[in-house]
Amino acid sequence: MSTILGLSTPAFTILHVIISLVGIVSGVVVVIAMIGRKWLEGWTVVFLVTTVATSVTGFMFHSASFGPPHVVGVISLVVLIVACLALYGRRLAGLWRAIYIVSAVLALYLNVFVGVVQAFQKLAFLQPLAPTQSEPPFQIAQLIVLVVFVALGVLAVRRFHPR
């Protein structure tokens, strides 16, 4: 049986999924707080760390070639670097506030986007609806996710103004 970081592949997969879910839940909490004009420093750290960990651990799975999951992982890491720079390097000053919000919401969106892809690939009740992920149920699900995240991002940029 193959291992990753000393864990069996199934155990590592479970760890990766748990980290991803913590990133998604903490990211939702952070974005909702921003819309509510609140700053949650602890939740923000958990969101950023677990979302970085999600992308990094995603690269550790065996793959014969560089494909779409890797592209999303690279984009996510770049977006997270920008978010961390805006938050910790520029302290959300001026335009960096909006840059942080957009990059944080985009990082969360990418994590959820991948989650939807994985759900349609792995969940028995969704697989038949979109076996190639080009069918309308998959496209509609991803469109809904995109629209929701654009709306959340716009609201957060308009409402979140930390002191």
Answer whether 102's CB lies under 8 Å from 152's CB.
no
Residue ranges of domains in the chain: 3-159
Q: Give the three-state DSSP class for 51.
A: helix
| Residue 144, number of CB atoms within 10 A of its CB | 11
Residue type, 25: V
Angle, helix 9-35 to helix 41-58, in steps of 10 degrees = 140
Give the Å distances, CA to CA, from 97 to 47, 68, 161: 17, 30, 8
Question: For residue 148, which phi and psi values (nearest 5 degrees)?
Answer: -60, -45
Q: Give the three-state DSSP class for 76.
A: helix
Q: Would the pLDDT of 81 be above 90?
A: yes
Residues 31-60: pLDDT tens digits? 999 999 999 999 999 999 999 999 999 999
pTM for the model stands at 0.95
Q: Would the pLDDT of 138 be above 80?
A: yes
